[in-house]
Amino acid sequence: MTARPTLRQQTGAPAARILGFGSHQPDRVVTNDDLSQVMDTNDQWIRDRVGIIERRFGDKDELLVDFAVAAGAAALADAGVEPSEVDTLILPNCTMPTQIPNAAAQVAARIGIPNPGAFDLNAACAGFCYGLGVASDLIRAGSAKKALVIGAEKLTDAVDPTDRANAIIFADGAGAAVVGGSDEPGIGPVVWGSAGELVDLIYMRDGKYIYQEGQSVFRWATTQIAPIALRALEAAGLQPSDVDVLVPHQANLRIVESIAKKLRAKGAREDLVVADDIKYSGNTSSASIPMAIDHMRKAGTAKSGDVVLAVGFGAGLSYAGQAFILP
């Protein structure tokens, strides 16, 4: 009998870090007053209950993949990484209109990334943190050297434009991060999970438009997500006081503020910078976290070397969080 061959194994970089961010939004700005022309709502209610002042909607001929290409290319430019250096493209999204083909491979081809491993990842609004966790672990395992993670959504395709419960919240856009190997750890372990028994709280009704039980989702997010963020910190060996910038998924400003309050009660600093990108971007699902960070870096409210704590949550129900250092 011949001896069974031993499979060669590989190891990757000692650690992973984020090298750059980019984002893209369509040009069309939609204010609360614009929405009140087509449904029974008003500017004050939306500001008070959700925190959104305006958001961006794509036009009919602007697609999720267009947003992803623009955000991905911007992140590569920010990182100073050539498309030819990227070997893996992960595209978290939950609004790609086709299952076949996926978005990732065509986005890679349009950016000029030659033949990468390319796949979509659906964990709804937790998608970016899932994708970042996968990218970091692929790099440490030696399966990837440089990964591009692009959260991209065209939620206006998935929302009944006259449904005031959802049309005021969701919006379009993309955010991206480039991840590479490093000697020093730049991305903490991902803490992720799901609560599939609550699947009926957010789903596509008749496979067409998003339906959600807003109050139940609100209660879940304001009670269950801060503990996940704290677990992500603990996994990275950090204290709440180490965090410079908190970036929860931009679902509702009151949810964001509730998570920040709970972290401060556990020792996060009063000068903790808390992302409030929802005010001008709306809820862009898997795009919201990298887009918020890109906007904050450009505005100077988040800077190189800052410790970020990100936590995503949404349909599934799914959640994920991790700490990382800003490039």
Ligand X SMILES: CC(C)(COP(=O)(O)OP(=O)(O)OC[C@H]1O[C@@H](n2cnc3c(N)ncnc32)[C@H](O)[C@@H]1OP(=O)(O)O)[C@@H](O)C(=O)NCCC(=O)NCCS
| Cβ-based nearer residue to ligand X, 9 or 215 | 215
Q: Quick check: 160 and 168 in contact, CB under 8 A?
A: no
Q: Which two tokens stand for residue 327?
A: 């490039």
* 249 given a catalytic annotation: yes
Task: Give the three-class secondary structure for 216.
Answer: helix
- Taking every pair of Cα atoms in the chain, the longest distance, rounded to a whole number of angstroms, is 79
Report, in Å, the least distance between residue 320 CB and ligand X: 13
Contact residues: ligand X, CB under 6 A? 41, 45, 49-50, 125, 164-165, 168, 212, 214-215, 217-218, 251-252, 255, 283, 314
Nearest-approach distance from CB 283 to ligand X, in angstroms: 6
> Concatenated DSSP letters for 201-227?
GEEEETTTEEEE-HHHHHHHHHHHHHH
Q: Give the nearest distance from C-beta 96 to ligand X in angstroms.
A: 17
> Which of 159/178 has CB closer to ligand X?
159
Exposure class string for 230-250: b at 16+ Cβ within 10 A, else e: bbbbeebeeebeebbbbbbbb
CB of 67 to ligand X, least distance (A): 18
- Of all residues in this chain, which one has the CB nearest to ligand X in the complex? 214
Q: Which is nearer to ligand X, 44 or 99 (CB)?
A: 44
For 47, 182, 262, 278, 304, the CA distances from 257, given in Å and listed in that order, are 14, 33, 9, 12, 24
Neighbours of 295 (CB within 10 A): 20
C-beta separation of 176 from 288 below 8 A: no
Residue 171 or 326 with smaller CB distance to ligand X: 171
Looking at residue 207, the DSSP 8-state letter turns out to be T
Of the candidates 282, 121, 127, 98, which has an alpha carbon nearest to the alpha carbon of residue 207?
98
CA dihedral 161, 166, 169, 174 (to 10 degrees): -70
Q: Of these residues, 93, 249, 252, 295, which one is catalytic?
A: 249
- Find, among 219, 212, 211, 282, the residue nearest to 249 by Cα: 282
**CB nearer ligand X, residue 215 or residue 304:** 215
Strand partners, 44: none
DSSP assigned state of 185: -
**Smaller CB distance to ligand X: residue 76 or 174?**
174
From the candidates 125, 166, 252, 295, give the one annotated as an active-site residue. Answer: 125
Active site residues: 125, 249, 283
